[in-house]
Amino acid sequence: MPNLSERALKVPASPIRKLAPLAADARARDIKVYGLNIGQPDLPTPPEAFEALTRVDRKVLEYSPSDGIASLRRKMSEYYHRFNMPVDPSDIIVTTGGSEAVLLGFLATLNPGDEVIIPEPAYANYISFSITAGAKVVPLMTDIKNGFALPPIEEIERLITPRTRAILVCNPNNPTGYVYTPAELEALRDIVKRHNLFLFSDEVYREFCYTDEPYFSAMQLEGIEENVVIIDSVSKRYNECGIRIGALVTKNKELHAAIMRFCQARLSPPLLGQLVAEASIDCTDEYMERTFAEYRRRRDCLVNGLNAIPGVYSPLPMGAFYTVASLPVEDAEDFCKWCLSEFSYEGETVFMAPAAGFYSTPGAGLNQVRIAYVLDCEELEKALKVLAEALKAYTAK
């Protein structure tokens, strides 16, 4: 049998999805599974999105331009200006989800053996995409005890080597929910400028920022305009993950042209998804405010409930709809598997993502889980009860 590539063997399984077969088996045994593992919103997609589909009047579902439909890019530019982000339509490349934007950005900026510094825990696919590009993730460790804030600038600078090409942050952060302050981003700007690096900023969750301050984008940093690459997606803010529409935004014309060559090779982003995304940008303020308020309510419900369970700790996330919590267990992955394969409480169990998969550092996050608060508060409260009972039973074994 022919051998697989080294790349294929190195790419890790997703910590978000790899236990899905166990969850499917539990459901087949008529056990109710509370799905807290994946950021799949349960809130309704804007009605404008479905209306756009009903208005499709085409005889052919054709290729779109490789950088996306011009009217969508104009609409996205208008959206960014609401956040004081100086983005022109020509700065935007529409991608097949935010994930493709990360992958194309890495392929265009990182050579095999190059290094990208990423705060950990981090969105697991960053690791996979780095491996795909032949690059190395250099982890910048953060600590649950201070809510996963960035360490001092000196610690970041010590990680830089001649092979360092980029720093990537996710703001608000997936998986921790941390929101980087303007001061933290300005410190990163100084490092990026001093060492002539790219700064990737994944801002998919900018609509869900629970601080009292206006959202501060890396695109607003002065003096590194051509170093900044924004990663974006409509999946989470409009509850439409399945349309697979994201964006890469850069003012660096040389980088833009390089990424376009990759885009031409993959032909075009999804046509129907772009039509839906364009219509969704016109959704009402009431829709966005209602969605925001619901996630904040769920956050408070979940975090308060987690911290009431003996031995469990979660910081208060200030953005997105995730938290990373520590559990009173040595191996959270074993616990998560056990919850799905051997445990139920009154016919119910919980499905969480083991947080070790969000670290590239061996041994990190072994007692942590990522939890997505994508269920309503009534369901979250039931899931918390099941989790508390599961911990009692597991630690008593």
In the predicted structure, residue 397 carries a pLDDT above the cut 80: no
In tens, the pLDDT along 319-367 reads 999 999 999 999 999 999 999 999 999 999 999 999 999 999 999 999 9
CA 1 from chain centre, in angstroms, equals 37
pLDDT digits (tens, 9 = 90+) for 299-322: 999 999 999 999 999 999 999 999
Is pLDDT above 80 for 280?
yes
Q: Kindly state the DSSP code that residue 342 receives in the 8-state scheme.
A: T
**Mind giving me the DSSP string for 58-123?**
-SS-PPPPTT--HHHHHHHHHHHHTTT----GGGEEEESHHHHHHHHHHHHH--TT-EEEEEES--
CA 212 to chain centre: 22
Local structure of 197: helix, strand or coil: coil
Evaluate if residue 16 carries a pLDDT over 90: no
Strands 353-354 and 368-372, sheet pairing: antiparallel
Assigned token pair, 266: 């993959």
User: Is the CB of residue 230 less than 8 Å from the CB of residue 203?
Assistant: yes
Rg (CA), the chain: 21
Q: What is the model's pLDDT at position 308?
A: 98
Q: How far apart are CA 287 and CA 81, in angstroms?
A: 19
pTM over 0.85: yes
User: What DSSP letter does each residue of 357-381 carry, written as one string?
Assistant: GG-SSTTTTTTEEEEE--S-HHHHH
The Cα 141–Cα 76 span in angstroms is 34
**What burial letters (b/e) apply to 48-65, b meaning 16+ CB within 10 Å?**
bbeebeeeeeeeeeeebb
Identify the residue whose tokens are 């996630």.
295
CA–CA distance, 248 with 67 (Å, rounded to integer):
10
Residue 12 reports pLDDT greater than 90: no
Question: What percentage of the chain reaches a pLDDT higher than 90?
Answer: 96
Question: In sequence order, which residues have a C-beta less than 8 Å from that of residue 88 and are 6 or more positions away?
Answer: 77
**pLDDT, mean of residues 209-217:** 95
Q: Residue 284: which pLDDT band, with cuts at 50, 70 and 90?
A: very high
- What pLDDT score does 13 carry? 83
Angle ∠(244,262,9) on CA atoms, nearest 5: 75
Angle between helix 285-307 and 377-395 (nearest 10): 20
The percent of residues in the chain predicted with pLDDT above 70, rounded, is 100
Tell me the mean pLDDT in the region 265-277: 97
| Cross-strand bridge partners of residue 249 | 92, 230
Determine the average pLDDT of the residues in 59-88: 97
**140 secondary structure, DSSP code:** E
Task: Return the SS3 of 30.
Answer: coil
Whether the per-residue pLDDT at 389 is higher than 90: the answer is: yes
Contacts of 362 (CB under 8 A, 6+ apart): none
* Pairwise CA distance, residues 134 & 103, whole Å: 11
Centre a 10 Å sphere on the Cβ of residue 226 and count the other Cβ atoms it contains. Answer: 13
172, 39 contact by CB (below 8 A): no
Q: Which of 243, 275, 247 is nearest to 259 (CA)?
A: 247
Please state whether the peptide bond connecting residue 2 to the residue before it is cis, i.e. omega within 30 degrees of 0.
no
**Neighbour tally for 366: CB within 10 Å:** 18
| Tokens 């703001």 found at | 171
> Which domains does the chain possess?
6-44+286-395 (3.90.1150.10), 58-280 (3.40.640.10)
Average pLDDT, the chain: 96
pLDDT of residue 17: 84
Cα–chain-centroid distance for residue 166?
Answer: 18
Q: Would you say 249 and 91 are in contact if contact means Cβ atoms under 8 Å apart?
A: yes
State pLDDT tens for residues 104-114: 999 999 999 99
- Per the DSSP assignment, residues forming a β-bridge with 326 are 313, 368
pLDDT in tens, 221-242: 999 999 999 999 999 999 999 9
Q: Terminus-to-terminus CA distance in the chain, angstroms?
A: 43
